C-alpha cells in the first residue's frame, strides 16, 4: 500500500530542536532497557533518511497488530504535518528496523487504508485516549503503519 497522507492545515505545535533530540535519545535508552516510554509499549525505529540517506532513530509507541506485527501511528502529537520518520518510511519501506523486547528486527512498513485502517484505529483509540486526542488536534488523518518482520533474503 502507498504512503499517501498529506499534511493538514491545522494541528498542535510539533516538538523539535535540540531539546527534543536530547529527550528522544533518553527515551530510546529507556525503551531499550524497559520496552516502555511514558506508559506506552514502545520501540526504537531506525529508518533511512528520505533526502539524506542517513540512518535516523526515533522512539515510537506501538500497538499489537495481527500475526505478530507492530502498529505505529504517525501522530506527531497532533501536528498538521507528518513526522519525518513517516516520510523516511515512505521513501524506504523495506530498509527499516526496530529494537523491541531486546531484539533488533528488520521490518517492512506499509500504511493501512480503508476498513483495515478503521479497525486498527478503533483498537488504538480504545487502548490509548492520548492517541485519540491527537486526532482531535489536527485535520489530517493520522497514518497507521504496520511493521512486519522482513522476510529473510
Sequence spans of domains, the chain: 18-149
> Given CA atoms 113, 115, 117, 118 in this order, what sign does their dihedral have?
positive
Q: Give the Cβ contact number of residue 111 at 10 Å.
A: 20
Q: Can you tell me which residue has the cell 523516511?
A: 88
| pTM of the full structure | 0.89
User: In the chain, at which residue ranges do the beta strands (DSSP E only) sit?
Assistant: 36-37, 40-48, 55-61, 63-64, 70-73, 96-100, 103-111, 144-149
Cα(89)–Cα(70) distance, integer angstroms: 14
Long-range contacts of 24-27 (CB under 8 A, 24+ apart): 24/57, 24/58, 24/59, 27/59
pLDDT at position 43 is: 96
pLDDT at position 78 is: 87
The three cell numbers locating residue 90: 515512505
Residue of 74, 72, 77, 94 lying closest to 5 (CA atoms): 74
Q: Does domain 18-149 have CATH number 3.10.20.600?
A: no
DSSP label at residue 99: E
At 18-66, the pLDDT tens digits run: 777 777 788 788 888 888 887 789 999 999 999 999 999 999 999 999 8
At 75-114, the pLDDT tens digits run: 988 888 899 999 999 999 999 999 999 999 999 999 999 9
Cβ atoms 92, 3 nearer than 8 A? no
Amino acid at each position: 500500500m502507498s504512503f499517501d497522507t498529506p499534511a493538514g492545515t491545522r494541528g498542535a505545535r510539533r516538538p523539535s530542536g535540540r531539546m527534543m533530540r536530547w529527550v528522544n535519545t533518553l527515551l530510546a535508552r529507556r525503551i531499550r532497557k524497559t520496552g516502555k516510554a511514558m506508559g506506552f509499549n514502545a520501540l526504537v525505529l531506525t529508518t533511512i533518511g528520505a533526502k539524506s540517506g542517513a540512518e535516523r532513530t526515533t522512539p515510537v509507541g506501538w500497538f499489537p497488530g495481527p500475526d505478530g506485527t507492530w502498529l505505529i501511528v504517525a501522530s506527531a502529537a497532533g501536528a498538521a504535518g507528518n513526522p519525518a520518520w513517516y516520510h523516511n518510511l515512505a521513501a524506504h519501506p523495506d530498509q527499516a528496523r526496530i529494537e523491541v523486547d531486546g531484539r533488533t528486527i528488520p521490518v517492512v512498513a506499509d500504511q493501512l487504508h480503508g476498513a483495515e485502517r478503521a479497525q486498527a484505529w478503533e483498537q488504538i483509540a480504545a487502548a490509548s485516549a492520548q492517541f485519540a486526542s491527537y486526532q482531535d488536534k489536527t485535520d489530517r488523518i493520522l497514518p497507521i503503519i504496520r511493521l512486519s518482520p522482513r522476510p529473510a533474503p
